[in-house]
Structure 1
Amino acid sequence: MGLLFKHVFLLSVFYIGFVLGQRSTYIVHMDKSYMPKAFANHNHWYSFMIDSLTSTATIDKPFRRSSTPAARLVYTYDNAFHGFSAMLSEEEAKALEKAPGFLSAYRDRSVTLDTTHTFEFLSLNPDWGLWPASDYGNDVIIGVIDTGVWPESRSFHDDGMGEVPTRWKGICEEGQEFNSSMCNKKLIGVRYFNEGVKAGNPNTTLTMNSGRDTQGHGTHTSSTAAGNYVEGASFFGYASGTSRGMAPRARVAMYKVLWDEGRYASDVLAGMDQAVADGVDVISISMGFDGVPLYQDPIAIASFGAIEKGVLVSSSAGNEYRIGSLHNGIPWVLTVAAGSIDRFFAGTLTLGNGVTITGWTMFPAPALIDDLVLIYNKNISSCDSTNALSNIGRGIVICENGSVRNQIFYVSQSNANAAVFISDDVNVFEDSEFSYPGVVISPRDAAVLMEYVEKTKVPLGSITFQKTFVGTKPAPVVASYTSRGPSPSYPYVLKPDIMTPGSLVLASWIPNSPIASIGTNIELIGDFAPLSGTSMACPHAAGIAALLRGAHPEWSPAAIRSALMTTANHLDNTNGYIKDSFFNYDVASPLAMGAGHVDPNKALDPGLIYDATPQDYVNLLCSMNFTKNQIMTITRSSYSCSDPSPDLNYPSFIAFYGNGTAGVLVRTFQRTVTNVGDGKSSYKVRVEAPDGSKVSVSPTTFAFGEKYEKQKYSVTVEYRGSINGTVTFGSITWVEDNGNHTVRSPIVVSPMIPVW
């Protein structure tokens, strides 16, 4: 068998020696069932394939041997999916298509990163609810796929932690400035994967060849998910208090796959593959791949293998803000959008007449701005150039009608001591960069300031800094940067799923990378940093999912996702609909926030869940316009397409109409709910139909006789609105007769978007 395989395969690649070109890394997916018995394991099989390519080229025309490095394996994969990555020429990759068991291959690609008080904002507390029910996530293992970790951070000390679970199979891999003793009972594993980045940059020396974090991103995300308690945390006096992650007693395993020298899919795949093999319970991955179909998306492929093993994957929605820009729109993962926190970082402007105005600032020092003249010149009030401000003297200059970030830079080049920036730009409140003494006040509050300046001969002002207010309203608000659905990779499942805090999240940072600056030449370091992005939202969801896994170890990843979605809150802390900061504070669409803002304590007891098995996802894939090999690239060879179905049992609904198409859209969905409440219960449906639509549900009532009983229902959406490109939305809510549970699912009616 082995000799026959070699003969056939060598013939298929015989011509390569004539046309060897520049090699690059390819990711190759294989059907492992085709492995000849002559090979002891898949590693030998894959190595034989690559050796055959190289030897054939050499034998054929040795005098024409290319100076390009020989074909070689980069990684082999056998847990989250089957296959390998290798340095190949285009011709060699094409030749592999004739190899027995070949499914698909594509070039390695670059991945996009999605860059204290949140536990209180989410109502997590030690007396009742999800924290005590899960024992704070004790012994649940969160695998973080990221830039590495700073093990000395106080968030990773192991005070109060018990022994490492015996089921853990991971290691603490040594490397540059990193030894195995740096792991402990909190940070139980660290591995690093850089064969992809080295293959893509063969002459590059890695700046930190170990699991140590050089960018800060991985330290921040992992401490957000599961950091231990750290007293006295703050950002230069802002947000001071005791820091902790969502699951403070969960274990952290870091898989470093992103490097200063590059971010490669092959390394990401290797990290996820190893995390599954090591025995993590939850994966947090704050990155994504844009513009690729599911069967070429490394996160989609590896996460399918993860959910087969019962591992929930939490992923970020992306930071591209536009409708249809969302990545990680993968039906079997949890896709997380970002929102604001009810916290305001402030400075106080006190006028000479005693009137005070509270404004936004994150200037990182207690600057002395006391009784200085307020300077306002309408001709230069935009503060938009160094030239315009060249004649400004000492005092507090007033700037308006411009970009605050640009104005900060130009004012810092002038003789002014400080500035007041008049702006309602929502991006200001999502950015911690504030390198010059000043405050941002709203145009509404500016009326008081301008009246004082105009009527006073020598107007004076003072500014104090480093103030933090919590409980601000309205909150949460959908972040301006968060990517909106529908997902181009698969729009027929509504994404994102939920929203969690993502703006100015305070978490651990690395001590050798600046987190703030004063002026243009003073950089500041610290142990904690406030960052914004769906990267920060994703680990919140991962930590909460770990808590749910601890409280309900019998729940599948789909059940956990369902509990998070159906209990999410679509109202803010004023009891009004959550608003979208990017769209002028209009009511937020589920395309921006999914089912709503996460409510961890309600998710502990959701009443009903929408469950799904790996076979259900296979049935979904089989209904798509994918080839057999494309489907097997994701599923491997464990499943058949005997029952294809486009109707996944998902806790949300999305229907599309075509722009310019006449007629009525009619879409019917089938769903199955499982009673996870205790004993008997009964529910009635409540429908809020999207504008222009009629929504029918059958049946309209449920009566459950016991726990884990399942019942089915159907939903028909008839859209009769105008075909004008608008998105409308509503909901279906199952309300328990005794009022103990409300199980809500969003509905979206949307114009169709292009599919990747």
Structure 2
Amino acid sequence: MEQAVKDDVDVLNLSLGNSVNGPDYPTSVAVNRAVELGVPVVIANGNSGPNHWTVGAPATASKAFSVGASTNPQKIPYLVEPKSNRPFLIQVMMGSVPWDFERSHQIVKDTEKENMYGKIALLQRSDIPFYDLAKEAEEKGAEAVLIANNEDDMISGSIDTGEEPIKIPVAMISKEDGEWLNKLVAKDSVYLETAYQQVDTTIAPFSSRGPVTVNWDIKPDILAPGTNILSTVPGGYQSLQGTSMAAPHVAGVIALIKEAHPNWTTEQIYGAIETTAIPLKDEEGNLFDPIVQGMGEIQPSDAIETDAIIHGAKLSFGKIEKYNETKMVQVKIENKTNQDQTYYFDIPKKQKGITWELPQTFTVKKQETKTFPVKLTITSPQVEEGLQQGWLQLNRKDSDQSYQLPYLFINQTTDNPKAMGFQFALKPFSEDSYTYQLYVTEPAKKVKVDLYDPQTLLFDRTLLTTEELQTGMNEGEMKKEEIGNPGHYLAIITVYLEDGTYESYETIIMIE
């Protein structure tokens, strides 16, 4: 990033990410500084959806333009067991060739090591990487691979490792469907048929969701096509999935806007893209949540030709902690024409405990920029605790144009991760010192890291306990004699919060 800024690039496109959902991770800080120096930075939002809080740094940077993935209109494959007429949703993995079958296939379990030729291998998610599981099945002649999840929450998964591509379709199914299929296969020969559902543009299930912890920003900022994108690979072309396919679309749009409007600032460019985006709706006609889509899907021509730019259109009111609290955000409208523009808000639907104070009809004169406040008052006990989000509609009289402004606030507390991103490694250029990192999102009294045998799950030892904590990134060092035996461990990280509660999460670490 430093070199790109020195080279005076027009736009930076990044596919970087991690599990730290916080605004001040070092890569996020670097992104903000690059934007402050005049370089628009476009970042893939991540492929860890569809759960909340899955966007990771640096897409969490407040000044990054973070891009989620929308789907192209397409046929979505699913499987049907004909005897029971039971349908199975499948999630084709990133890096996989399309699932495109016209005939039924027999399913064989991973315990059946004999003939897999022409059949679909049913495998179980484990510590073995998805690529390795699928590659072994391919080498044994499998026509396709289904990997049953071992957790209730669905993930998309990836077999894109940079190694030799797998040439058969690989998809994930839910834990429930996997257990049902395994029992069925154990009793009898089972065949599955592939069926297809035609769907319009929607949100890619793998696209990471917001919001961002600590500052509660709405992410992603925007959506762009991220499924079945024909892209270059070593030796040719391949249809690929991911927010890494979506982000370059937006980088290209920014390049086009810069050519059309060379004097526009990064703020104006971001604003033009967001102002003209079209929010996506579900099958019932309701807008998807703001933390799923940001402002909606890009419209390149409209962004280039826009006659108005809304700045600060994503309304994040932060956390409500008092009994009765008023929050305010400033929104700015820039009139790019030689005609006055008149705006008004639709009156929001009445919600108990929530009061909006919106400006009455107002006019932005030709070539003028006008700032106005949007106020939100919350009576906390009357509103459900947790993440609250929705949309306000801003209308323009002179053109029958309307804009959907997403809003978000946290009432008291929510289910956001309290600690994440634990890393433990030998200190560079050292033989006897280790460093650790841990990101904490809320005030905490203590963090303890316990080590367990990953196979037997028996407790081994406590690696570290620390009470010197701050909200954000925490770092420290340990000497070799303090850490105990080397090996492969399941680490349970427990954070004890100042409000008396605690939360744990687990990760695998290797002590060299």
Q: Same fold (TM over 0.5)?
A: yes
TM-score by length of 2: 0.60
| Among candidates 294, 317, 339, match of residue 45 of structure 2 | 317
1:690 and 1:323 map into 2 onto residues whose CA distance is 28
Counterpart of 1:336 (choices 59, 67, 70) is 67
| Residue number among 314, 317, 340 corresponding to 1:655 in the alignment | 317
Measured after TM superposition, the shift of residue 701 of structure 1 is 1.0
What is the distance in 2 between the residues matched to 1:716 and 1:565? 21
**CA–CA distance in structure 2, aligned partners of residues 719 and 478 of structure 1:** 33
Alignment partner of 1:298 out of 30, 54, 63: 30
Corresponding residue of 1:286? 15
Question: SS of 2:199's equivalent?
Answer: coil
Distance between the aligned counterparts of 1:371 and 1:651, measured in 2?
49
Output the amino acid matched with 1:317: N
| Map 1:337-736 → 2, pairs under 5 A | 337-344=68-75, 375=106, 383=109, 385=110, 388-391=111-114, 396-397=119-120, 399=122, 408=134, 411-412=137-138, 418=143, 421=146, 427=155, 435=166, 437=168, 472-482=198-208, 484-486=210-212, 488=214, 491=215, 493-509=217-233, 511=234, 526-572=235-281, 574=283, 576-577=285-286, 587=288, 589-611=289-311, 650-657=312-319, 661=321, 663-688=323-348, 694-706=354-366, 708-722=367-381, 725-736=385-396
| Corresponding position of 2:437 | none
- Tell me the secondary structure at the aligned position of residue 656 of structure 1: strand
Aligned AA (1:326): G
CA distance in 2, matches of 1:577, 1:564: 22
Q: Per the alignment, in what secondary structure is the counterpart of residue 727 of structure 1?
A: strand
Matched, 1:741 2:401: yes
> 1:561, CA displacement in angstroms?
1.0
Relative to structure 1, the CA distance from residue 358 to residue 574 in structure 2 (aligned partners, 3 Å threshold; closer, same or farther) is: closer
Identity %: 18
Task: Give secondary structure in 2 for the equivalent of 1:302.
Answer: helix
8 Å CA contact retained: 2:96, 2:159: no
Deviations, residues 579-633 of structure 1 (Å, cap 9, x unaligned)? xxxxxxxx4x32333222223233234443245xxxxxxxxxxxxxxxxxxxxxx
Q: Deviations over 1:325-371 (max 9, x none)?
A: 532444444232333333458699999xxxxx99887876999x999
AA partner of residue 389 (structure 1): E
Q: Which runs of 5+ in 2 are unaligned?
A: 83-87, 414-440, 443-470, 473-512
Tell me the amino acid that sits aligned with residue 277 of structure 2: A
Q: For the residues of structure 1 that align with 2:170 and 2:286, how far apart are their CA atoms?
A: 29
CA separation of 1:533/1:375 partners in 2, compared to 1, >3 Å: closer, same or farther?
closer
Cα distance in 2 between the residues matched to 1:697 and 1:604: 32
Q: 1:337, 1:599 → 2: CA distance?
A: 14
Q: Which residue of 1 aligns with 2:419?
A: none
Q: Distance in 2 between matches of 1:734 and 1:312?
A: 27
1:389, 1:590 → 2: CA distance?
Answer: 46
**Letter matched to residue 199 of structure 2:** K
Give the whole-Å Cα distance in 2 for the aligned partners of 1:749 and 1:339: 25
Task: Rate the CA distance shift 1:733–1:548 in 2: closer, same or farther, 3 A.
Answer: farther
**Larger C-alpha radius of gyration, 1 or 2?**
1
Query: CA deviation digits over 1:95-146, x for unaligned, max 9?
Result: xxxxxxxxxxxxxxxxxxxxxxxxxxxxxxxxxxxxxxxxxxxxxxxxxxxx
Contact 1:734 1:742 survives alignment (8 Å)? yes
Q: CA deviation at 1:402?
A: 6.3
Q: 1:293: how far off? A: 3.2
Change (3 A) 1:688 1:410: farther
Report how far residue 685 of structure 1 moved. 1.0
In structure 2, how many angstroms separate the alpha carbons of the residues matched to 1:690 and 1:553? Answer: 44
Aligned residue for 2:449?
A: none
Shift of 1:736: 1.4
Q: What amino acid does structure 1 have at the position aligned with 2:342?
A: S
User: Measured at CA, do residues 743 and 721 of structure 1 come closer, stay the same or move farther in structure 2, by a change above 3 Å?
Assistant: same
CA distance in 1, matches of 2:286, 2:379: 25
Unmatched 5+ stretches in structure 1: 1-267, 352-356, 512-525, 579-586, 612-649
User: What is aligned with 2:481?
Assistant: none
Distance across 1 between alignment mates of 2:156 and 2:212: 27
Q: Equivalences for 1:68-79 in 2 at 5 Å?
A: none
Question: For 1:52-98, what per-residue CA distance to the aligned partner results, in whole angstroms no more than 9, with x for missing partners?
Answer: xxxxxxxxxxxxxxxxxxxxxxxxxxxxxxxxxxxxxxxxxxxxxxx
1:732 corresponds to which letter in structure 2? L
Aligned residues: 388
Contact (CA 8 Å) 2:357, 2:376: kept in 1 or not? no
Structure 1 letter corresponding to 2:298: V
What SS does the aligned partner of 2:296 have? coil
- How far, CA to CA, are the matches of 1:366 and 1:652 in structure 2? 37
> What letter corresponds to residue 65 of structure 2 in structure 1?
L
Provide TM-score, normalisation by structure 1: 0.42
Q: Whose strand proportion is higher, 1 or 2?
A: 2
Q: Secondary structure at the match of 2:7?
A: helix
Q: Distance in 2 between matches of 1:366 and 1:326?
A: 29
1:697/1:504 CA distance change after superposition, 3 Å: same
Using the TM superposition, give the Cα deviation of residue 735 of structure 1 relative to its aligned residue in structure 2, in angstroms.
Answer: 1.0
CA RMSD of superposed structures (Å): 4.9
Q: Structure 1 residues 461, 287: closer, same or farther in 2, change over 3 A?
A: closer
